[in-house]
Amino acid sequence: MKLSFNKFKRLSNEQERKIKSEMSSEDTGVIHLDDVTHFYQNDSSPTIENLNLRIKHGEFISILGESGAGKTTTLRMIAGFEKISSGYLRIGGQLVGSNFLHVPPNHRNLGVVFQDYALFPHMTVYKNIEFGISKLEENKKDIINNILSMVGMPGYENKYVHELSGGQQQRVAIARAIAINPIALLLDEPFSNLDRVLGRELRKDIKKISTNTETTTILVTHDREEALAISDRVAVVSNRKILQIDTPEHIYNNPLTPDVAKLVGPCDFIQGNYNKNYVETSFGKFGTKFLEKIDNSEEVLVLIRPSDVNLSPSSTNDKNALGRVISREYKGEYDEYEIISESGEIIHSRVNNLEKFSIDSKVFVNMSNERSVLVYKK
């Protein structure tokens, strides 16, 4: 079964975008995983279970999770490299995967960028990019030159892979993926082999390309900074399931579970007793917010983000001070302090490094801008 996605290149950019947009609907999106489950052969436990995900035209989605969570398997199912055990996968409104149907990868018109780049070392940059373009395509040279300019590599068409840096090789891999004018771009941890500065630069460029070409993009990553920085929505995956999917801001500020909170940002959890929109803890009393009904006097789990914790000095003999500094790490832009309460609970605070607190000094703990802490049922 061959999908009717191909042969966009003879059209104008506006016509291409219109066709791709029409392949999306409120019901199916551009890509729709409907109750999808996947088993590897001879495994008794699923790799991914009852997954539901709908991605709209032009949307940039990140699938964020730790190693073994099932995120790469999800990408491979979408690409067609893995078969679905149950459920349904639709691309552009057409069924491409189920337990009775499997459309092969080369008929899905998806651009894939692998973690190891997967470039052909015996080919030039030009030949690598040309590889996926239809033999019937006219103006190949113009298309490839335009794409090389788009990824910031004009003039590199005659270079071989071994003559390129890691960042340049990844740009060529991206160029090859978008050269086929895909209905969607799939990125499998594309920055993991790059240093942090180069990775940041490249992810900005990918976001710009995705936005300018209105290309639906799925990024698989274990790096929360990447996911939060460039995504329209983030799907947090753990233990074979999507725990939460939302905008980066909402998912960071309102994680549905402690597991989500830990995956999207550094945090500590301490015990508390909830009463009338406040929570009593071993570090003091804080205003609260919650995502589920909490009864007065109920024991709760309190989420503390290091960036929200302000410290103020106290005298050594001050009995009202509720924390003691036990360690300090210099992080460049800030100092990170480890604070222990009298009950032995530990939280962290990220403080402007112009302020200094000595080890064993007593401190008061407050939330920045009187920020409310999030509490969960135990």
Residue % of the chain over a pLDDT of 70: 90
Q: Show me where the domains of the chain are located.
A: 13-258, 267-377
Report if pTM > 0.75: yes
CA dihedral 192, 198, 204, 208 (to 10 degrees): -100
What pLDDT was estimated at residue 54?
95
Q: Residue 48 burial (CB < 10 Å; 0-12/13-18/19+)? A: buried
CATH match for 13-258 among 3.40.50.720, 3.30.360.10, 3.40.50.300, 3.30.200.20: 3.40.50.300
Tens digits of per-residue pLDDT, 333-343? Answer: 899 999 999 99
Question: What pLDDT is attached to residue 24?
Answer: 55
Position 15 pLDDT exceeds 60: no
User: CA-CA distances (angstroms) from residue 117 to 67, 174, 189, 197?
Assistant: 19, 9, 10, 19
Give the pLDDT confidence of 93-103 residue by residue, as tens digits: 999 999 999 99
Across the beta sheet with 216-221, what order do the strands follow? 110-113, 184-188, 216-221, 60-64, 233-238, 241-246
By C-alpha distance, which of 330, 317, 328, 329 is closest to 362?
Answer: 317
Q: What percent of the chain has pLDDT over 90?
A: 55
- Mean pLDDT check: name the lowest of 169-178, 193-202, 259-268: 193-202
- Per CATH, the number for 267-377 is 2.40.50.140
- Residues 247-282 pLDDT 10s: 999 999 999 999 999 999 999 999 999 998 899 999
